[in-house]
Structure formats: structure tokens, C-alpha cells
Chain A
Amino acid sequence: MRINNVEIEDTFAEAFKMWASRVIITAASETWALNAAHSMSGFATSVIMCKCEAGMERILSNEETPDRRPGVSVLVFAGKEKDLVKQMMKRIGQCVMTCPTTACYNGLEGGKKVDIGGKLRFFGDGFQISKLCGGRRLWRIPVMEGEFLCEEKFLAREAVGGGNFIVIGKNAESVLEACERAHKEIRKIPNVITPFPGGIARSGSKVGSKYKFLDASTNTSFCPTIKSQVDTKLRTEENCALEIVIDGLAERNVENAMRAGIQAACTSPITRISAGNYGGSLGTFQLHLHKILEGMR
């Protein structure tokens, strides 16, 4: 298969079942909502080392937020429900509650209820106040600036993490530029995030390592500088590969994002689009590039 003369490999991205939640952060201004969102989704690129993957989904207008202030929606993903709760607790507590003027609400409509504000409230040292409003319980925690408002229950649901595609080209500049275009298009797709810096990962990983203490190591078969030393997947003229990893609330969301991203990335001098997988032995989902891109060639 070829799109704009770029080869689409007949392979698949291997994605995993994860747990996800959406956090709506509001603040007095968009700047402060973004400050909190950036802080909350910082150091959340991969569950391997960060214990969760998080990213800003989109900026919300005043009309879209529960308190009619500027807001941002953040998606958080983790392998297990209890890990998700733990990470949300830490990140809302340390990154949102600490950020001036912010408030924090559940942003999902369906899923399992998990207690976040109900635990964070203890920071109020007995001066916290609850308010039940339209069936939603909010906790008002006194802070030095006024009050931090946090919804008691957030919803968590099963989701899909690790959707990906690898952009391969002749030089680093063109591959990066193609990935930037892809990331820009993916950001328009709802219910997905790209957790890596700027949405792009340069250090894709493989399972295992020659070192026993390491669970994952560099994806040697896509590293151009050691092409001759390993069983490489890169061709002679290919000198760079970058990966875009996508987490989404549902499989179709990830597929939509992959489709939009690949389409935007497919321009010369990109040579190939591939995807990361482990031979289909680890992940629940196999997102086949040709199937996703059917009708787009």
C-alpha cells in the first residue's frame, strides 16, 4: 500500500488494555488551567517508568466547563485501575491543587466510580466542606489562596493504550517535520492523547534487554546508527525513524488518530510508515495499518 508515494508496511501496532479517566481542570484564566494541565501530565510518557501516561486532550471554552471558566481536559491512562487512582491522587494533589485558582472535575460520562476528591479532602484538616449539587459531590478544601474545589468521584473506564506508528525517512529533519504535521492532526481527534514530548517519541523501546535488571531497552532494529550491528528493519537510504504513540478511550478513537496522523505524515521524503509490535504476543489489540487506512490510498 502507498499513500502519496509513501510505503505503508503491512504490519500492525500492538496496543494494550488500560484504564483511563478524564480530568477537567478549570482556572481563572486559560494560562493557569494550562499550567496545571502541563504540570499534571508531566513525567507521564510511558507506564514503564512513569506509572501512567497522561496528556492534554484539548482546551475547553468557558461554556464547556462545569463552572464556566476556562478549562483544559486531561486524559490519564494506567495499566490497572488502582494504579490509575494512585496516580490521579498524586497528580491532582500535587499539580492541580497547588496551582492557583484551579478546580478539578470528572470529565467522563460512563465508567466505574473512583474516589479522588473524597481522599484529597483530608488535606483540609477538618475544615473541608462538601457540597452536593445535581448528584455530584464536591469538596471545598481551604487553601492559602481561597478554596480548591475537587469532585469527590471521578469515573474510570477501560481504554486502549500504545497505539502507534513509526515514521521512517531519509533524514531527521524531514521525519521530524512529518511527525509534527501528524501530531497536529491527531490533536484534532477527540478522546486521544499522545503522551510523549510534543507527541513524538525518538526512543521507541523493545521488550527486554541484555541486562537482566532492565525490562525494556532501545528498539535496536529501528536505530540507524547501529544498522550494521543488529538485525535492522531500516533500509540503506533510511537514516531516521520517529514513533507517535497514541492512547485513546476506545479502539476506534486510536484508529481514527492513527489514520489522521499517518495521512498527514505521508509526504516525500518520508519513505515508509511502519508500526511497533511484539509479534502480537503481548497486546490485546492489533491495529493493522492497511485495515485502518483502507480506502485512503
Chain B
Amino acid sequence: MRLTLKKSSPIPLFAECLSPDTFCDKTVSEIGDLKCLHGNRVVTLGDFFRIDEDSPTIEIVGDVSFVRHIGAKMTIGKISIQGNVGMHLGAEMSGGEIIVEGNASDWCGAEMRGGRMRIRGNAGNFLGGAYRGSEIGMNRGTILVTGNAGHECGLRMKRGLISVQGNLGDFAGLHMKGGTLICYGKLGKRTGALMERGTILCYKTPQLLQTFRRNAAYNPVWLRFFLNQYREILPVKKEHIEGIYERYSGDITELGKGEILVWKG
């Protein structure tokens, strides 16, 4: 199913229906009639997109950075977006795959439960994060960002993998409870603040909080296993696998069982 943007808008379009689960077994006209909220007005998907049935997956063409909740709660299938995308992309998704050729806005993969998301541009704030009032953010699944990601990446993350090849904003891994967050670029301030468990893997030395304490420099065997498992989707180099990492544990103002591993080459 190919959806080509007909018109843009400064007002957000809430299109939670834009998901393989909803499109399943529907005809082109039925998809076009699916209801969305444009601001506070009910519109149809067909008002904003020309829909063609010439792709086995959902392919969205155009700058849809005003469209929110694309692929939210999806469980199966694949969405490919040829452009930028708006907030809450793949929020609470539990399966399937989303590929974004442009940038993604905030809350991308928020409270994700499974599946895979690849963003070839930059991602906004709260990538894989927990919504306000929620205890747990991302809880399984994989998010791969080729560019940079904003603040509070992996907020309250419990399981899964987030990999950011560019830089990360402030408070990466805030309140993190588990899972693995990898950053190949620079990290912002207060990385791992209030972290309870989980791993933040850094390939550039971050400015660490005083509440993190150095433990040892070693080559973690689990990381060899881990990086080899994800060799096909992560930019893994031999020196990353065989290198020495400094292990810092914290945040001691919380449980203190989180770790920041800093690659030393």
C-alpha cells in the first residue's frame, strides 16, 4: 500500500490508524475512509493521502512530520517512510518493522514492546522513552538511529536495544531500568542520571556524573556475544569486540546497578 502525501498542514494529524494491523484485509477505499483527528476535527486518511495498492508493505511518501502516531501499537508488518515523520512514531508497537528515510520527531518508539525501528536521519527527544506518569519505557525491541537523537533517550527503558550512531542529547538513559543503549557519538550532560540497571555503551568518553564510580577496565565477554548477535544491524568493528572498556557503575543515588561502559580502544 503506497500513501503519497497530498497536502501538508501546520496542524498535527493524529493517524493511529496508519498501521499494518488496521490496514489488514481492507480495500483502498476502506483505508481512505479511516478516521483521523486533524487538530480537533475528524477527517479521513484519504483527505491527506493518495492511496495506491502497489506495494506489499505500507509505504508513505512525503514529509509527514505533522502526522503523529504512525505505526503506534502495531504488531505485524512493515512501514517504510520516505521522508520526515512526526511524533509518537511506533509508540507502544510490539512487532513489525518501521523504516524512516528522514528524521523522526519526539517520543519515537515510546514504550515500545517489540519489533524493530530504523531511522536513517535524526530522532527527537524521548526516543524509546516512557510517557509521563508511566514507570516503564521501552521494554523489548530494537531502535537503530543513523543520525543523532535528542534528550532523555531511553527514558525509563527496561529491555531492548537503542543504538545511536550520532550524538545523544542530555539525560540519556534517565531512570534506566535495563536494556542496552549504545552511542557511537558524543553524549550530552548527565548521562545515566538516576539509572537503576541497564547498560549505556559509549564509544566517546562522556562527562560522567559524580554518582557513577569507576570499577575496572576489561573486555566484557557478554559484549562479544552481544555485538556478534547484532553484527548485521550495528556498525560493529573488530576493535569494538576486542577492545577494552572502562566500567562505571551507578547511579548510586538510585539502586546503583546500572553501568556505563566506555570504550578505550
- Is there a chain B Cβ closer than 8 Å to A68's Cβ? yes
- Name which residue of chain A comes closest to B258, CB basis: A129
- Name which residue of chain B comes closest to A101, CB basis: B221
What CA separation (Å) do A273 and B215 show in the bound complex?
61
Determine which of B159, B197, B224, B259 lies in contact with A68 in the assembled complex, contact meaning CB atoms within 8 Å: B224
Determine which of A67, A129, A146 lies in contact with B225 in the assembled complex, contact meaning CB atoms within 8 Å: A67
Determine which of A66, A67, A103, A129 lies in contact with B257 in the assembled complex, contact meaning CB atoms within 8 Å: A129
CB 8 Å contact bits of A99-117 with B (1 = contact, 0 = none)? 0010101000000000000
- Is there a chain A Cβ closer than 8 Å to B241's Cβ? yes
A-side contacts of B140, CB under 8 Å = 132
Name the distance in Å between A167's Cβ and chain B's nearest Cβ.
43
B-side contacts of A68, CB under 8 Å = 224, 228, 241
B-side contacts of A121, CB under 8 Å = none
User: A149 near B197 (CB under 8 angstroms)?
Assistant: no
Report which residue of B199, B225, B230 has the largest number of chain A beta carbons within 10 angstroms of its beta carbon: B225
A-side contacts of B216, CB under 8 Å = 146
CB 8 Å contact bits of A118-142 with B (1 = contact, 0 = none)? 0000000001010111100010100
B-side contacts of A101, CB under 8 Å = 221
CB 8 Å contact bits of B10-38 with A (1 = contact, 0 = none)? 00000000000000000000000000000
What CA separation (Å) do A134 and B229 show in the bound complex?
7
- Is there a chain B Cβ closer than 8 Å to A17's Cβ? no
What CA separation (Å) do A134 and B234 show in the bound complex?
13
What CA separation (Å) do A129 and B257 show in the bound complex?
8
Name the distance in Å between A163's Cβ and chain B's nearest Cβ.
34
Q: Given A129-B257, A134-B229, A67–B218 Cβ distance below 8 Å?
A: no
Name the distance in Å between A72's Cβ and chain B's nearest Cβ.
15
CB 8 Å contact bits of A66-80 with B (1 = contact, 0 = none)? 111100000000000
- Is there a chain A Cβ closer than 8 Å to B180's Cβ? yes
Determine which of B225, B228, B230, B241 lies in contact with A138 in the assembled complex, contact meaning CB atoms within 8 Å: B225
Name the distance in Å between A120's Cβ and chain B's nearest Cβ.
15
- Which of under 10, 10 to 19, 20 to 34, or 35 or more describes the interface residues of B? 10 to 19
User: B228 near A147 (CB under 8 angstroms)?
Assistant: no
User: A129 near B159 (CB under 8 angstroms)?
Assistant: no
What CA separation (Å) do A131 and B159 show in the bound complex?
9
User: A149 near B222 (CB under 8 angstroms)?
Assistant: yes
- Is there a chain A Cβ closer than 8 Å to B185's Cβ? no
CB 8 Å contact bits of A32-71 with B (1 = contact, 0 = none)? 0000000000000000000000000000000000111100
B-side contacts of A105, CB under 8 Å = 225
Q: Given A131-B180, A134-B229, A146-B216, A67–B224 Cβ distance below 8 Å?
A: yes
CB 8 Å contact bits of B77-90 with A (1 = contact, 0 = none)? 00000000000000
Dominant secondary structure of chain A at its interface with chain B: strand
What CA separation (Å) do A126 and B251 show in the bound complex?
16
B-side contacts of A131, CB under 8 Å = 180, 199, 222, 226
- Name which residue of chain A comes closest to B231, CB basis: A68
User: B228 near A66 (CB under 8 angstroms)?
Assistant: yes
What CA separation (Å) do A68 and B229 show in the bound complex?
10
User: A133 near B225 (CB under 8 angstroms)?
Assistant: yes
- Is there a chain A Cβ closer than 8 Å to B220's Cβ? yes
- Name which residue of chain A comes closest to B238, CB basis: A68
Q: Given A131-B180, A132-B159, A146-B218, A69–B197 Cβ distance below 8 Å?
A: no
B-side contacts of A69, CB under 8 Å = 221, 224
User: A129 near B197 (CB under 8 angstroms)?
Assistant: yes
What CA separation (Å) do A66 and B140 show in the bound complex?
21
A-side contacts of B221, CB under 8 Å = 26, 67, 69, 101, 103, 146-147, 149
Name the distance in Å between A143's Cβ and chain B's nearest Cβ.
11
What CA separation (Å) do A11 and B124 show in the bound complex?
74
Determine which of B218, B226, B259 lies in contact with A133 in the assembled complex, contact meaning CB atoms within 8 Å: B226
Name the distance in Å between A69's Cβ and chain B's nearest Cβ.
7
B-side contacts of A133, CB under 8 Å = 222, 225-226, 229-230
What CA separation (Å) do A241 and B227 show in the bound complex?
52
- Name which residue of chain B comes closest to A27, CB basis: B221
- Name which residue of chain B comes closest to A132, CB basis: B159
- Name which residue of chain A comes closest to B180, CB basis: A131
In the complex, which residues 122-140 of chain B have their Cβ closer than 8 Å to any Cβ of chain A? 140
A-side contacts of B257, CB under 8 Å = 127, 129
- Name which residue of chain A comes closest to B225, CB basis: A67
User: A103 near B220 (CB under 8 angstroms)?
Assistant: no
B-side contacts of A149, CB under 8 Å = 221-222, 225
For the complex with contacts A66-B228, A132-B140, A140-B220, 16 further pairs of A-B residues with Cβ separation under 8 Å are: A66-B225, A67-B224, A68-B228, A68-B241, A101-B221, A103-B222, A129-B197, A131-B222, A132-B159, A133-B229, A146-B218, A146-B221, A147-B221, A147-B222, A149-B221, A149-B222
Interface residues, chain A, with chain B CB atoms under 8 Å away? 26, 66-69, 101, 103, 105, 127, 129, 131-134, 138, 140, 146-147, 149
List 8 tightest A-B contacts by C-beta distance, closest first.
Answer: A67-B224, A67-B225, A134-B229, A149-B221, A103-B221, A146-B218, A149-B222, A133-B226
